[in-house]
Amino acid sequence: MARRLGRGFGRPWQSAVCQAPTLLRLEAPFGPLQEKAIDAIWTISISPLETGSSVTFEFIANGSAFSKLDELAPAVEMVKTQALKTLVQPIANEVSK
């Protein structure tokens, strides 16, 4: 069963794998990728540290040569950056209280 996540980025993200509290893998075609036949996976991994946590974001997009992923990369990066800000902002707000 897919769970819809995210808002304001076109097609909603869908969870592919969730291993709480350490891993979340999303089918997340950002921005212009939504119009193409492209597989896009975003993995968010959380590892404990002595003084907090380490969060790693990995994004992989795969499509045919006709998809011209190299030309779409700057726009995808911009949308991905906005998505990261949306995820991080609630945490930053909570920490600053």
40, 58 Cβ separation under 8 angstroms: no
pLDDT value at position 92? 57
Q: 40-59 pLDDT, tens per residue? A: 898 989 888 898 888 888 98
pTM: 0.65
Specify the higher pLDDT residue, 57 or 83.
Answer: 57
- Residue 31 pLDDT > 80: no
Dihedral of CA 43/84/62/39: which sign?
Answer: positive
Q: 54-78 pLDDT, tens per residue? A: 888 898 988 888 888 899 888 888 8
